[in-house]
């Protein structure tokens, strides 16, 4: 007999959570659970998510234990932090710089004159991060 799903969610709510999710794997898990709420068999849910029946069962057990945000709760518990104190930041980095091009020189056909050029490069690194929930941001510009 399959593990029953918790009664405080339904297919519409779980699909809305999957639509809001920015994590593809989480959205796939939630859509499989929503299909089960709609009355699909576990085999059909496994086909939707491209996984095995055992994985569907594991997802249902985790969903029943801690709801749709299972992974975030697991990370917070391992770190010993409450979920409300957890901040999620997004970051990006870039290197901006100059690299000199190949030096060219006019010469007679068949000759190979030397063409010394500057081998130095100049660049800087830019790092930025934001926390959309708190409206915080930070940035670094580091010379190399």
Residue 25 and residue 47: Cα distance in Å, rounded?
A: 15
Furthest C-alpha separation in the chain: 87
What pLDDT, in 10s, does the model give residues 98-109? 777 777 778 889
Q: Is residue 6 part of a domain?
A: no
Q: Are residues 16 and 51 in the same domain?
A: yes
What pLDDT, in 10s, does the model give residues 32-41? 999 999 999 9
Q: Are residues 116 and 137 in the same domain?
A: yes
The tally of domains found in the chain comes to: 2
Q: Is residue 58 part of a domain?
A: yes
Q: Is residue 74 part of a domain?
A: yes
Residue 42 half-sphere exposure toward CB, CA atoms < 13 A: 15
Q: Which residue segment(s) compose the domain that 15 sits in? A: 11-85
What pLDDT, in 10s, does the model give residues 100-134? 777 777 888 988 888 777 777 788 999 999 998 88
Whether the model clears a pTM of 0.75, i.e. scores above it, the answer is no
Q: Are residues 44 and 95 in the same domain?
A: no
């Amino acid at each position: 007999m399959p593990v029953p799903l918790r009664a405080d969610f339904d297919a519409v709510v779980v699909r809305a959570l999957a639509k809001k999710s920015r994590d593809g794997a989480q959205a796939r898990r939630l859509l499989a659970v929503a299909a089960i709420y709609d009355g699909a068999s576990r085999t059909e849910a496994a086909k939707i998510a491209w996984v095995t029946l055992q994985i569907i069962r594991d997802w249902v057990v985790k969903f029943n234990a801690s709801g749709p945000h299972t992974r975030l709760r697991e990370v917070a518990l391992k770190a010993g932090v409450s979920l409300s104190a957890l901040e999620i930041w997004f970051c990006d980095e870039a290197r901006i710089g100059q690299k000199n091009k190949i030096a060219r020189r006019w010469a007679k056909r068949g000759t190979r004159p030397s063409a010394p050029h500057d081998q130095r490069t100049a660049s800087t690194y830019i790092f930025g991060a934001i926390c959309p929930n708190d409206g915080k941001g930070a940035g670094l510009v580091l010379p190399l």
